[in-house]
Each structure stands twice: as C-alpha cells, then as structure tokens.
Structure 1
Amino acid sequence: MLDLINDFSPGLFFMQALILIILIVLMRKFAWKPILEALNQREDGIANALASAEQAKVEMANLEASNQAAAQEARAQRDEMIKDAREIKEKMIADAAGEAQEKADKIIASAQEAIESEKKAALADIKSQVAELSVSIAEKLTRKELSEKDAQLALIDKMLAEANI
C-alpha cells in the first residue's frame, strides 16, 4: 500500500477524475436515459398486461356466469316445451279417444237401428208368409170340405158346437 501512495500523481488523478466525470455525464445522457425509459416502458407494459389479464379474468367470470344463466334459462325453456308437448299429447289422445267413442256409439246406434229395422222387416216377411201359408192351407181345406155336402153339414155342426161351448 505504500507503493500506491508513493506512486500517486495528482495530474493523473485529476485526468482520471475528469474522464470519469465525462464518462458519467455521457453515460447519463446517452445510455442511462434510454435504458431507464426502456425499463419504464417495460414496467408499464407488464402493469398493463397484468391489468388486462385481471380484466380478462373478470370478463371470463362474467361470461361464465352469463353462460350458466343462459344454460339454466335454456333448461327451463326446454322443460316448459316438454311439459307443453306432453299436455298437447294428452289432450290429443283424450280428444281422439272421445271422438273414437262417439264414432263407436254412432256405429253401434246405427247398427242397432239397422238390426231393429231388419228384425221388423223379417217379422213382417214371416207374418206375410205365415198369412199366405194359412190362407193357402185354409183354402185347400175349405175346398176339400166344401166339395162334399155331407162334410159341409158336419163342419157347420162342429163349428156351431164349438161356438156354444
């Protein structure tokens, strides 16, 4: 250390101090300012990115909440549509059953009327056939019995006897 004190030169010290001051001034003017500005810009960019990320996070939460609300509303609408469709289906089935019952009742009523009219027609036809057969039989019997005079008298007596009883 004594060597350093013995080798000390004030002129050299002054020149080195002057060069150091000039170097500091130049560095400050040309290097530090742009470096500090770049650091400040980077710091601002990072702060803006963090703020944007936070804002995006909030927006995502809002979107998620609105999506859940929309999904819930869609489910409610779907349930309402299904309920309406079931009610319509049940109403259509009930209407169809009612119409079918009415048609069946009408068909049964018309069939009963047709049966009744056919029955009446058959009875009328049977009556007319019975009447024709009765007349035909009576005519044949009467001809046979009226052709004989003794048989006629016997028939008259028989009828009178039956009438008096």
Structure 2
Amino acid sequence: MGLITPGLGLIFWSALGFLIVLFILSKYAWKPILSALDDRERSIEEALKSAEIARNEMANLKAENEKIIHEAKIERDEMLHRASETSKQMIEEAKNAASLEGAKMIENAKAAIETEKLAALEEVKVQVGVLSLEIAEKLLKENLTKDAAQQALIEQFVNDLKLN
C-alpha cells in the first residue's frame, strides 16, 4: 500500500513547494498577468465599441447615400423634363418662325406679282398709246380729201381690229 498512499514528508514538501510557488507567483507574476488580462479585456471592449460605432456610421452613410441617390434621380428626372420642355418649345418656336417666314414670303410674292401686273398694264397702255399714235400718223399721211378713201380706210382699220 505504500505506493498508493503518499508519505507525510512528500505531502509536506509538496505543500511547501506549492506555497512558495504560489507566493512567488502572487508577488511577481499574478499582478502582471491580471493587468495583461485586464488590458486585453479593455482592448477587446474598445474594439467592440469602435466596431459598433463603425457599424452605426456605415448605416448612416448608407442611408445618406440612398438619400443622395434618390435626390440625384429626382434631379435627373427634372433635368430630363426641362430638356423635353425646352426641345418642345424650340420646335414650336421654329414652326412659328417658319410659318411667319412663309407668310412673309407669300406676301412678298404677292407684292412682286402685283408690281409686275402693274408694270405689264403700264406697258400695255404704252403699247396702246404707240399703236394709237401709229394709227393717227397713218391717218394723217393718207389723203383724206375724198369720202370714199376715208370710208375704205375706216373699214380697213375695223377689219384689222377684229382680227386682233
């Protein structure tokens, strides 16, 4: 049974060694180990807090980004609407300008036609006057002393007029 139960001396020296190691550890190692564990615990807590702050900041940034994207979409839609309205307005103005220009061209053409018509009438009057002068000249050149000659000349002029 000697192998199973330790001797009194072994228990004493084991207890004494344990107490010395416990004293040395409590005196020199226990405080640095506990302070190192406390530092580690504090650093972990700080890391968790900073991670939580970063998570909150990321959530805020995400919400802000979504807000900015939404505002950008609204602004884009407004710009497209304004561009569409501007293009419609420009097209309408171009149509109106073309219509006015066409009306002006028609008025100018009517005025030119009227001017040419008046010029043509004036030329016809001039030609009628020239023909009248030629007729009068022929009448004066003819010997109008006899009635029969006058009558023949008048019939000739009447026949000439009916042909024209």
| Aligned partner (choices 52, 55, 72) of residue 54 of structure 1 | 52
Cα drift, residue 4 of structure 1: 7.1
The equivalent of 2:69 in structure 1 is 71
**What percent identity do the matched residue pairs reach?**
44
Cα drift, residue 131 of structure 1: 2.4
The equivalent of 2:141 in structure 1 is 143
Segments of 5+ residues of structure 2 without an aligned counterpart are 156-164
Query: Per the alignment, do residues 41 and 100 of structure 1 end up closer, same or farther by CA in structure 2, a change over 3 Å counting?
Result: same
The equivalent of 2:107 in structure 1 is 109
What RMSD in Å do the two structures reach over aligned CA positions? 2.6
For 1:125 and 1:15, locate their aligned partners in 2 and report how far apart those are by CA, in whole Å. Answer: 155
For 1:6 and 1:111, locate their aligned partners in 2 and report how far apart those are by CA, in whole Å. Answer: 138
Measured against aligned partners, the alpha-carbon deviations of 1:45-66 in whole angstroms (never above 9, x if no partner) come to 1122122212211211111111
Cα drift, residue 76 of structure 1: 0.5
Cα drift, residue 130 of structure 1: 2.0
| Aligned partner (choices 81, 95, 111) of residue 97 of structure 1 | 95
Q: What TM-score, normalized to structure 2?
A: 0.78
The equivalent of 1:162 in structure 2 is none
Measured against aligned partners, the alpha-carbon deviations of 1:106-152 in whole angstroms (never above 9, x if no partner) come to 12112211210111111111121022113313431453251x52435
For 1:123 and 1:3, locate their aligned partners in 2 and report how far apart those are by CA, in whole Å. Answer: 157
The equivalent of 1:132 in structure 2 is 130
Alignment partner of 1:49: what SS? helix
For 1:67 and 1:100, locate their aligned partners in 2 and report how far apart those are by CA, in whole Å. Answer: 48
Q: Does 1:37 align with 2:35?
A: yes
Q: Does 1:2 align with 2:2?
A: yes
Query: Per the alignment, do residues 154 and 86 of structure 1 end up closer, same or farther by CA in structure 2, a change over 3 Å counting?
Result: closer
Cα drift, residue 153 of structure 1: 6.4
Give the length in aligned residue pairs: 153
Query: Per the alignment, do residues 8 and 18 of structure 1 end up closer, same or farther by CA in structure 2, a change over 3 Å counting?
Result: closer
Normalized per residue, which structure has more helix?
A: 1
For 1:53 and 1:154, locate their aligned partners in 2 and report how far apart those are by CA, in whole Å. Answer: 134
Measured against aligned partners, the alpha-carbon deviations of 1:37-86 in whole angstroms (never above 9, x if no partner) come to 11221122112212221221121111111101101101110110111111
